[in-house]
């Protein structure tokens, strides 16, 4: 059976609403941050389906014993925000995964070559076996940054089929690169836009997510 990259665009009205707020060029920075927090929350919620490790237990209600299912606390979960824009989704993601470990990875893109350069790497030398990793990256455009991130993670023992990516806006170039090298990946996005412009920005997109989040436009 051929494994193919799966990109989920949840048809949730709240995701659509906050995407519209984030896209609007007249949205002020403070409200843009709120939109990104909410998108991080709802996309993480969707990404956790059939992904979080669970175990069956017996509990006692006030009336009687009862079988229950809980998230397995023995299985490690990590969140990797790609700095700096990935931080915009973090507050929302952490409300869904409050016990996850956070490992920062800083990437900057050369505006001439569009190639990524790593300037911060707080990943462990090796992840524990069966670690689930959630990557927060608001925009998947040329694919350079996310491919470099995937290399860093897989070199440290993370299995691609245990990785989930949450992204607000995605584009075909990045998705095609990921599909060729990491077909077992699952991506949860608010939308898939049509193309990139000559500067490598997604169109229609939402502009520079980092600048709009931190008010540095």
Binding site feature residues for 5-phospho-alpha-D-ribose 1-diphosphate: 84, 109, 137-145, 208
Nearest to 184 by CA among 46, 67, 35, 51: 51
State the Cα–Cα distance between residues 63 and 55, nearest whole angstrom.
Answer: 22
Binding residues for uracil: 202, 207-209
What SS3 class is residue 34?
A: helix
Phi-psi category of 141—alpha, beta or left, where left has phi over 0 and alpha has psi -120 to 50? alpha
User: What's the Cα-to-Cα distance from 15 to each of 98, 100, 130, 165, rounded to whole Å?
Assistant: 21, 23, 30, 16
Binding residues: 84, 109, 137-145, 202, 207-209
State the Cα–Cα distance between residues 167 and 208, nearest whole angstrom.
Answer: 14
State the Cα–Cα distance between residues 36 and 129, nearest whole angstrom.
Answer: 31
State the Cα–Cα distance between residues 201 and 168, nearest whole angstrom.
Answer: 13
State the Cα–Cα distance between residues 42 and 48, nearest whole angstrom.
Answer: 10
């Amino acid at each position: 059976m051929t494994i193919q990259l799966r990109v989920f665009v949840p048809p949730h009205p709240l995701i659509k609403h906050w995407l519209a707020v984030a896209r609007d060029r007249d949205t002020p920075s403070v409200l843009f941050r709120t939109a990104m927090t909410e998108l991080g929350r709802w996309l993480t919620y969707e990404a956790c389906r059939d992904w979080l490790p669970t175990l069956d237990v017996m509990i006692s209600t006030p009336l009687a014993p009862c079988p229950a299912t809980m998230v397995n606390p023995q299985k490690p979960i990590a969140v990797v925000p790609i700095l700096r824009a990935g931080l915009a989704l973090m507050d929302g993601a952490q409300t869904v995964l409050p016990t996850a470990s956070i490992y920062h990875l800083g990437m900057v893109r050369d505006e001439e070559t569009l190639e990524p350069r790593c300037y911060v790497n707080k990943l462990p030398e090796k992840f524990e076996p069966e670690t689930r990793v959630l990557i927060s990256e608001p925009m998947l455009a040329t694919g350079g940054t996310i491919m470099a991130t995937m290399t860093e993670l897989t070199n440290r023992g993370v299995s691609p089929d245990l990785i989930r990516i949450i992204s607000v806006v995605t584009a075909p170039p990045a998705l095609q690169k990921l599909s060729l090298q990491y077909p077992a990946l699952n991506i949860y996005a608010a939308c898939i836009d049509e193309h990139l412009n000559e500067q490598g920005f997604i169109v229609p997109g939402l502009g520079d997510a980092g600048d709009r989040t931190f008010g540095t436009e």
